[in-house]
Amino acid sequence: MSDFRYFKTHRTWEDWAGMLLGVLIVLSPWFPTQAGHEVVDAERSYVILNTFAVGMLVFGLAQLEYVALRRWEEVAAILLALWLIFSPYVFGYSGDGLLRFYHSTLGGLVLLLAALQLWQDWDLSDQDMLKHGQ
The closest alpha carbon to 45, from 79, 81, 100, 93, belongs to: 93
What pLDDT sits at residue 120? 82
Asked whether residue 38 is domain-assigned, the answer is no
Look at residue 79 and tell me if it is in a domain. yes
Distance CA 88, CA 99 (A): 8
Asked if the structure places residue 91 within a domain, the reply is yes
Contacts of residue 23, defined as CB under 8 A and 6 or more positions apart, other chains included, come to: 55, 59
What counts of helices (H) and strands (E) characterise the chain? 6, 0
Query: 7 lies in a domain?
Result: yes
- Domains in the chain, number: 1
Residue 41 lies in a domain: no
Identify the CA nearest to 14 among candidates 123, 112, 124, 134: 112
Amino acid at 25: I
Residue 6 lies in a domain: yes
Range of the domain at 111: 2-31+47-130
Q: Is 110 helix (H, G, I), strand (E, B) or coil?
A: helix
- Asked whether residue 40 is domain-assigned, the answer is no
What is the predicted pLDDT for the residue at 77? 96
Query: How would you write the pLDDT of the chain (134 residues) with one tens digit per residue?
Result: 455 555 567 678 888 999 999 999 999 988 876 544 455 555 678 888 999 999 999 999 999 888 877 778 899 999 999 999 999 999 888 776 788 899 999 999 999 999 998 888 777 666 665 565 54
